[in-house]
Amino acid sequence: MHSPPLLALALLSASALGYEVLLVRLLSIIQWHHFAYMMISVALLGYGAAGTAVALARPVLAPRFHGVFIGGALLFGLSAIACFSLAQHVPFNPLEILWDPGQLARLLWIYLLLFVPFFCAALCICLTFTCFQEQIHRIYAFDILGAGMGSLAIVAALFVLTPVDALRLLGGSGIAAGALACGRRQRWLAALLLALAVALPAGVPGRWIALSPSEYKELSQTLRIKNARAIAQTWSPLGLLTVVDSPTIPLRHAPGLSLNATQEPPAQLAIFTDGDGLSVLNRHDGRREPLAYLDYLTSALPYHLLRQPRVLVLGSGAGADVLQALYHGASAVDAIELNPQVIDLVQRRFADFSGKPYSAPNVRVLIGEARGLVASRSELYDLIQIALLDSFGTASGGLHALSENYLYTVEAFEEYLRHLAPGGLLAITRWVTLPPRDVPRLLATAAAAIERDGQASAARRIVMIRGWKTATLLVSNRDFDDAGIAALREFCRARSFDLAYYPGMTVAEANRYNLLDQPYFFDAAQALLSGERAQFLARYKFDVRPVTDDRPYFFHFFKWRSLPELLALKAQGGLSMLEWGYPVLIATLLQAGVAAVLLILLPLWVARRRQRRSRNAALARFELRVVSYFAAIGFAFMFVEIAFIQKFTLFLSHPLYSVAVTLSAFLIFAGLGSRYSGRRQAGTGGGFRHPLARPVLAICMFALLYLIVLPPLFQLLAPVSTVVRFAVCAALVAPLAFAMGMPFPLGLGRVSARAEALVPIAWGVNACASVVAAVLATLLAIHLGFTVVLLLALLVYLAAAVAFP
């Protein structure tokens, strides 16, 4: 047999993993949040099903290796484009998943469509391992290095290519892998495939693969306004930015503007990130008067309690909060924005319209992740303001329920308070949702941050007001005095905002202007800032416990015990209070389990039943240990990987970076660990008689060490560049992943020596467990936190050592 097509294998592996990472980006554009857990699960399903197919059809596939490889690579390239195009045209609306059972079938249809390209690529890779076992180490090296490079390359490509063009590139690279696999006698076929790799992706009509964001996204809704049009678009791995103008019906975005306001906002342009996350660009010619509306927002409150403050704005976007600070006479403004392309739009492309607010005297713009930049700076500020970063629809609909948010955690609040000058204020503005969810959680989180050292009372250091659409919370590092409270009351009186809480406030002062059935916000504040906090958190219909870096799901409020009541209120719209992201996660978990069993385990089980003639008790016990062992390491590996992907999201600034870099590092170094384990005799060396003793000990040691070391290390390394962060992430993952790469080949070697017929079962069980674990890990992290997920993984690794066959 000819030598394996190593370069083709590497390119195909790179294309497959690049496709996995790109799907995270594409789905965040057409839907709402990152589907990282779903994409990892889909990819693993493809690899597991391909392994099953090769195990069952080896006599048919192996003699036709080159033809199958070339065909599989070609089909990957074609299906990568075609299946995504079909998937985004499936009429799946996650907002209806609670009302329409048919949405579950549509979600499954999307899942299976996106499975096809991974199956095609994995079929080629698995067949290569099967047909060239004598060169398995070389094959493994090219496979994992290709995969690792692919995940990083697609992130780099997204700086210069649109997401759709990146999809074309991956389709072409898959076909090119097929060309590289052609032998010397098939040069004509190689030339044909190379021509096809260039022509076909480029020739696909744009309308076939144009991104179709959900019609319920804010951008889609805005473009329905008469004559509204997108006038600019730019992109990067951090997001697809779209600038919209509405000349006929002017845009007027002033969240929670007081009904007492007499002046409307100036002309505005809307900037959307991934079709959502509206940030407005105000027309500004340098005059102060047109900005008067900014004094009639609840977010203007801190400027009436401070004089010429030094301000830090987190998430400054298109600059409205910077203009608000300048309008109120701030002595200096530091503005932090994650995406440099937003600043470029404001300062360069639309400079004449915006008046270049970031170039105003005493204004300084800082590019980077807010938490890291705050931690890396020594300056003290009179006011730290967290901008209103999302739209009302996404906040009230639970559209970010599965998204991590590290701006609103207890650790984040502690960091902000450390950077306040004496008497300084932390100001946070959120949308008013009913029943209240966001605001009580903010209160609980702020109180936990203030009282963590046990030396201060949160009840004296928090005030809150409410308008008809927004609420603003102020947190101080000193007790509020009488003068500050008087200014607070006058601010609300002049603008008809409601007092929600201040030290010493009575219920008679609440709920005066924007009337609710009950003074919900005051009642929540009174309970959370008193000795009734624990009872309130326990009895409240929603989960509003403080959010931590270990469980940073600020927008997840669901409590299982509230489900019967929500279902009973279905006709009255009660289900709208159940964040849709959560049922999508549950549905994905169920369909991942069903698909994994049907496509991986069931075919192997049927084949095993047909092959088995006799079965003694000893073999039955061995088979049970095999199933237990490979299921355990499948769950444990994915739990650790998902937990660290999430933990590195804070350090790497963006979920896409975390998925690409962490996944790449785990693949590469786990592969190296797997190769190393094949070179050493199992169970040798010193007192470590058990084959898994050293690997499991190393896994537990590094994982527990990282639980302690990572938070202060991330803070210490906050000032470093993004590229250095990538390198640090890879270096930290390396020893852990290296050890995690050993249990699988060690177990597989034992099974192969004892009962070779069980090898496909071992592969299938491991793949099936991995598919389910990729989603289950996210579900557990939401409820229990990443630390618990990691500790569960370590316990499962220990159980695997006990079950080792």
Asked whether the predicted pLDDT for residue 643 surpasses 80, the reply is yes
| Per-residue pLDDT tens digits for 9-23 | 999 999 999 998 899
pLDDT of residue 398: 42
pLDDT of residue 685: 44
DSSP 8-state symbol, 530: S
Q: How far apart are CA 167 and CA 240, in angstroms?
A: 15
Tokens 């609909």 correspond to 397
Contacts 24+ apart (CB under 8 A), 4-8: 4/128, 4/131, 4/132, 4/135, 4/138, 4/139, 5/66, 5/69, 5/128, 5/180, 5/181, 6/138, 6/139, 6/142, 7/142, 7/180, 8/69, 8/73, 8/177, 8/178, 8/179, 8/180, 8/181
Q: How far apart are CA 711 and CA 361, in angstroms?
A: 36
> How far is the CA of 478 from the CAs of 306, 375, 484, in angstroms?
13, 21, 11
> Closest Cα partner for 354 from 256, 285, 431, 457?
285
| Per-residue pLDDT tens digits for 661-678 | 888 898 888 888 877 776
Contacts of 653 (CB under 8 A, 6+ apart): 338, 368, 369, 372, 722, 725
Domains of the chain listed by start with CATH number: 1-213 (1.20.1250), 291-562 (3.40.50.150), 612-805 (1.20.1250)
Q: Which of 31-40, 392-401, 644-653 has the highest mean pLDDT?
A: 644-653
Q: How would residue 747 be classed by pLDDT, with cut points 50, 70 and 90?
A: confident
SS3 state of residue 482: helix
Q: How would residue 686 be classed by pLDDT, with cut points 50, 70 and 90?
A: very low
Tokens 């906090």 correspond to 533
Q: How far apart are CA 731 and CA 152, in angstroms?
A: 15
Supply 515's token pair. Answer: 């009337």
Asked whether the predicted pLDDT for residue 573 surpasses 60, the reply is no
Cα first-last separation, the chain: 34
pLDDT of residue 299: 94
Supply 505's token pair. Answer: 């406030």
- Comparing 748 with 349, the larger pLDDT belongs to 349
Q: How far apart are CA 295 and CA 309, in angstroms?
A: 15
> How far is the CA of 597 from the CAs of 221, 600, 604, 727, in angstroms?
40, 5, 10, 38
Tokens 């050493």 correspond to 680
Query: Which amino acid would we find at residue 375?
Result: A
**Of the ranges 17-26, 263-272, 597-606, which one carries the lowest mean pLDDT score?**
597-606
Tokens 């009840």 correspond to 459
Q: How would residue 610 be classed by pLDDT, with cut points 50, 70 and 90?
A: low
* DSSP symbols for 277-300: EEEEEE---S-SGGGGGGGGSGGG
- Residue 222, number of CB atoms within 10 A of its CB: 18
Asked whether the predicted pLDDT for residue 168 surpasses 90, the reply is yes
| Per-residue pLDDT tens digits for 136-167 | 767 877 888 888 888 889 988 988 898 999 99
Q: How far apart are CA 444 and CA 525, in angstroms?
A: 9
- Comparing 241 with 607, the larger pLDDT belongs to 241
- Comparing 394 with 676, the larger pLDDT belongs to 676
pTM, two decimals, is 0.87
- For 670-686, the three-class secondary structure string (H helix, E strand, C coil) is HHHHHHHHHHCCCCCCC
Q: How far apart are CA 777 and CA 724, in angstroms?
A: 28
Asked whether the predicted pLDDT for residue 760 surpasses 60, the reply is yes
Supply 390's token pair. Answer: 């999302």
pLDDT of residue 344: 94
SS3 state of residue 275: coil
pLDDT of residue 572: 57
Mean pLDDT within 588-593? 83
Supply 436's token pair. Answer: 């209240």
- Residue 794, number of CB atoms within 10 A of its CB: 18
Average pLDDT of the residues of the chain: 85
> Closest Cα partner for 98 from 586, 542, 449?
586
Q: Is the dihedral of CA 622, 623, 628, 632 positive or negative?
A: positive
Asked whether the predicted pLDDT for residue 697 surpasses 50, the reply is yes
- Comparing 486 with 1, the larger pLDDT belongs to 486
Percent of the chain's residues with pLDDT above 90? 40
Asked whether the predicted pLDDT for residue 474 surpasses 90, the reply is yes
> How far is the CA of 570 from the CAs of 159, 563, 566, 635, 713, in angstroms?
45, 10, 6, 36, 47
pLDDT of residue 169: 93
Q: How far apart are CA 360 and CA 159, in angstroms?
A: 29
Query: Which amino acid would we find at residue 755?
Result: A
For strand 381-386 and strand 420-431, is the pairing parallel, antiparallel, or unpaired? parallel
The answer, yes or no, to whether the previous bond of 519 is cis (omega within 30 of 0) is no
| Per-residue pLDDT tens digits for 339-383 | 899 999 999 999 999 999 999 999 999 988 888 888 888 899 999
| Per-residue pLDDT tens digits for 487-507 | 999 999 999 999 999 999 999
DSSP 8-state symbol, 257: -
Q: How crowded is the C-beta side of 381, counted as CA atoms within 13 Å? A: 26
**Do 129 and 139 form a contact (C-beta atoms < 8 A)?**
yes
pLDDT of residue 393: 43
Asked whether the predicted pLDDT for residue 194 surpasses 80, the reply is yes
**Do 185 and 52 form a contact (C-beta atoms < 8 A)?**
no
SS3 state of residue 255: coil
pLDDT of residue 46: 87
E strand or H helix at 313: strand 310-314
Q: What share of the chain is helix, strand, coil (3-state, %, to 5)?
A: 65, 10, 25
Q: How far apart are CA 709 and CA 241, in angstroms?
A: 36
Asked whether the predicted pLDDT for residue 387 surpasses 50, the reply is yes
